[in-house]
A and B are shown apart, each in its own frame.
Chain A
């Protein structure tokens, strides 16, 4: 149902560190070596961010976590100070 984790094929090296640390065990290594991991159980994501925190290519945007709509923040936008 959800699409919690997306990988950037350009910058993800397929090192699978995210697969190793995933708290909920929702990721799986791609059978093709060096390719982006597979999100096997997307509906079991806990949105704790362990995969993102430990991604060596995080700075290059290799992994992105998108919270589903009901989890998004509700913001009262203010004027520029």
Chain B
């Protein structure tokens, strides 16, 4: 069987693994330095990543507006640190993104994305909405086709895009990256890349827990993002941080991750949430005064305090209300004006799975915003953007391995980096990777032993007629994560969870009847690696750290900043996991 798997050898100066927002930005920037750049993408860069079918907002420090209001970059950093991350953030990375995302938004405009609106009366003709910070800081933009535009830009610049390859292994030689290995998802070929530098940008880890509807794939973030980057790093003994923060965010309303003007989201105006008799649970938000934004002064200390006091006194969650026998709850925009409804439809159509959702809602369900209400149901929890987990990088996005950089959601230590993080980190990592590749004269030799080992493990799966279907293994791993790394964790149950996961790994003799199924098996291996990291890191962190991380240890119920205001790094070392604590600079 081993000799049957064809090997495709590709040499490239810079290899970008994962062509989402961060990966595309990295490749586009790297192409400016006269080096050969290749993206290896599991699906197709036209549609892959969290923003694969659209994104309509991204926060930034916008000098044209914020300087006028007396709000500085330091204020944005303080807002993000205090309001979002509660002090648990890599402030240097945050500063990088805060300083540069405005320029990246202007780059996106050059690539064909509409970020200015004729009806806007504020400087720059932007639409700026409220999101995370105490002042409106998030661009609204027509991002439905952003991935198409980024792909075209990358191709125009000569970037080589290799779609339908799932990367599974990094090759490292004497502490320097030498390449990476992957499997063709529809041809089963082994792709052996030799590269001088690598940008790792595979995104988040999903499919870690079962979901509410039971429909496979019905998670908030694209489900082919299975934490492959973290998994590759883990396998190669490269540090990953904060994996314990599998946060319990209950998103969406039981169907698509839609953006139907959910209150306190980035949609303004938003629907109200109302109860069964029309009583208002969460009031509507109205249009921001787009005419005046940027013209008036604001006192950041006061606006921040106001939001902080809101954080300290949150309204009861829907879960808590259900437990009191309340509900059902509805998203209610029936009092919306034509202009507001038009805006909401625009917003839904440009974000996430909203474009299809809006079409389904109107044309298959006949939903009428003027009179109908949409029931608000909780959906699955996920290892979310709140989580701050991912590769350990320094201020220049370098990992411990020379020539390996991280970008976007693959980088740890930055809660809610989101799209701004992807744009800026991708750009910077691409620049750094290209400059470093330029200084490297030769490729390091290929790691033939690792190629043979991957060939064998894949052939074991492909030839294993009596093996287990990937989905069965996935469900087993998800059940373990759900139960043992659930809303409340404790030492003894976590230890049991680790034992059970090890059993699953030992007994998971996969079978694959096609290259496509082989990809799914490899994805489930990523999920198991991620689950192993989640369980072990949860056991190591002996404190609780609530919002936004949702990390609760029953046996250590208090937040312990003296010991644990620190990133928890883990790496595999001679068969066991080694931990280290990295104190967070305040």
- Give CA–CA (A70, B44) in the complex, Å: 28
B516 contact from A23, A25, A43, Cβ within 8 A: A25
Nearest opposing residue in chain B for A75, CB measure = B372
Asked if B222 contacts A48 (CB within 8 A), the reply is: yes
Within residues 374 to 433 of chain B, which ones have a CB less than 8 A from any CB in chain A?
374-375, 377
Within residues 103 to 122 of chain B, which ones have a CB less than 8 A from any CB in chain A?
none
Tier of interface size on chain B: 35 or more
The number of residues on chain A lying at the interface, defined by a beta carbon within 8 Å of a beta carbon of chain B, is 36
Counting chain B CB atoms within 10 Å of each CB, the highest count among A21, A45, A66, A72 belongs to A21
Known contacts A24-B217, A44-B217: does B48 contact A73 (CB below 8 Å)? no
Q: Is A15 in the interface zone, CB < 8 Å from B?
A: no
A41 contact from B365, B368, B516, Cβ within 8 A: B516
Within residues 170 to 209 of chain B, which ones have a CB less than 8 A from any CB in chain A?
185-186
- Give CA–CA (A80, B366) in the complex, Å: 13
Asked if B371 contacts A47 (CB within 8 A), the reply is: no
- Give CA–CA (A48, B206) in the complex, Å: 15
Asked if B361 contacts A25 (CB within 8 A), the reply is: no
Shortest beta-carbon distance from A4 to chain B in Å: 9
Nearest opposing residue in chain A for B370, CB measure = A81
Shortest beta-carbon distance from B402 to chain A in Å: 33
Query: Please, what's the 1-or-0 string for B132-161, where 1 marks a CB less than 8 Å from any CB in chain A?
Result: 000000000000100010000000000000
Within residues 42 to 81 of chain A, which ones have a CB less than 8 A from any CB in chain B?
43-50, 52-54, 65-68, 70-81
Asked if A23 contacts B222 (CB within 8 A), the reply is: yes
Asked if B217 contacts A70 (CB within 8 A), the reply is: no
Shortest beta-carbon distance from A56 to chain B in Å: 13
A73 contact from B43, B53, B185, B367, Cβ within 8 A: B367
Asked if B375 contacts A49 (CB within 8 A), the reply is: no
Nearest opposing residue in chain B for A61, CB measure = B363
B254 contact from A48, A68, A74, Cβ within 8 A: A74
Collect the chain B residues with CB atoms within 8 Å of residue A66's CB.
364
Collect the chain B residues with CB atoms within 8 Å of residue A41's CB.
516
Within residues 223 to 256 of chain B, which ones have a CB less than 8 A from any CB in chain A?
223-224, 253-256
- Give CA–CA (A49, B47) in the complex, Å: 9
Collect the chain B residues with CB atoms within 8 Å of residue A46's CB.
217, 222-224
Collect the chain B residues with CB atoms within 8 Å of residue A25's CB.
43, 164, 185-186, 516, 519
Asked if A49 contacts B370 (CB within 8 A), the reply is: no
Nearest opposing residue in chain A for B48, CB measure = A23
Asked if B215 contacts A70 (CB within 8 A), the reply is: yes
Q: Is A20 in the interface zone, CB < 8 Å from B?
A: yes
Shortest beta-carbon distance from B261 to chain A in Å: 14
Collect the chain A residues with CB atoms within 8 Å of residue B48's CB.
23
- Give CA–CA (A66, B304) in the complex, Å: 44
- Give CA–CA (A45, B219) in the complex, Å: 11
Collect the chain B residues with CB atoms within 8 Å of residue A68's CB.
215
Known contacts A47-B256, A68-B215: does B373 contact A20 (CB below 8 Å)? no
Q: Is B46 in the interface zone, CB < 8 Å from A?
A: yes
- Give CA–CA (A77, B332) in the complex, Å: 11
Asked if A76 contacts B47 (CB within 8 A), the reply is: no
Q: Is B573 in the interface zone, CB < 8 Å from A?
A: no
Q: Is A22 in the interface zone, CB < 8 Å from B?
A: yes
Known contacts A73-B367, A80-B371: does B224 contact A49 (CB below 8 Å)? no
Shortest beta-carbon distance from A13 to chain B in Å: 19
Asked if B365 contacts A47 (CB within 8 A), the reply is: no
Collect the chain A residues with CB atoms within 8 Å of residue B377's CB.
74
Within residues 52 to 66 of chain B, which ones have a CB less than 8 A from any CB in chain A?
52-53
Shortest beta-carbon distance from B259 to chain A in Å: 14
Nearest opposing residue in chain A for B212, CB measure = A70
Asked if A44 contacts B373 (CB within 8 A), the reply is: no
Asked if B355 contacts A49 (CB within 8 A), the reply is: yes
- Give CA–CA (A79, B373) in the complex, Å: 11
- Give CA–CA (A46, B223) in the complex, Å: 7
Asked if A72 contacts B356 (CB within 8 A), the reply is: no
Nearest opposing residue in chain A for B217, CB measure = A46
Collect the chain B residues with CB atoms within 8 Å of residue A24's CB.
43, 217, 223-224
Shortest beta-carbon distance from A74 to chain B in Å: 4
Shortest beta-carbon distance from A39 to chain B in Å: 13
Asked if A53 contacts B373 (CB within 8 A), the reply is: no
Enumerate the 7 nearest inter-chain pairs by beta-carbon distance, A residue then B residue, closest first. Answer: A49-B356, A78-B371, A50-B47, A74-B375, A70-B213, A76-B373, A46-B217
19 of the cross-chain contacts (CB-CB < 8 Å) are: A23-B47, A23-B224, A24-B224, A40-B516, A43-B216, A48-B356, A49-B353, A50-B46, A53-B144, A54-B46, A54-B47, A70-B214, A71-B218, A74-B374, A75-B375, A76-B373, A76-B374, A78-B334, A80-B371
Starting from the known contacts A25-B519, A46-B217, A74-B328, 16 additional A-B residue pairs (CB-CB under 8 Å) come to: A2-B215, A23-B43, A23-B52, A47-B356, A48-B353, A49-B353, A49-B359, A50-B47, A53-B144, A54-B46, A71-B255, A71-B256, A74-B375, A74-B377, A75-B365, A81-B370
